[in-house]
Structure 1
Amino acid sequence: MSDEIENTKVLDAARWIADRHDDEGGRIIPAVRSRFSLTAAEACRACALADRFREVGRADA
């Protein structure tokens, strides 16, 4: 898999997490892995990015 495709999937997952972080009842890693076909490491990166996205959103509010 190319880095560009991987990065797109991770970014898409991060955006999804940032928008819907409470929907999965604390089971976000399995949900993201399944929904976006990510590895565990990619899902963790997506979670970290989602935290950054939410921080930026709070700063702009």
Structure 2
Amino acid sequence: MSEMTPREIVSELNKHIIGQDNAKRSVAIALRNRWRRMQLDEELRHEVTPKKHSDDRPDRRR
């Protein structure tokens, strides 16, 4: 991925996925953010990594 911007990531996704523009944008931003976090020192990475909460997502079992 090197230093691709979210716009460049979306451009690559457009080659394989039709429509779903909001989803592609969200994925591109998430990928870029993850890549940027991985470039940080371990100590700082821990501070900026999103915390996982069980109540962040709706229960899909209903």
TM-score range, shorter chain: 0.3 to 0.5
TM-score, normalising length: structure 2: 0.41
Q: Normalising by structure 1, what TM-score?
A: 0.42
RCO higher in structure (CA 8 A, sep ≥6): 1
Computing the radius of gyration over CA atoms, which structure comes out larger, 1 or 2? 2
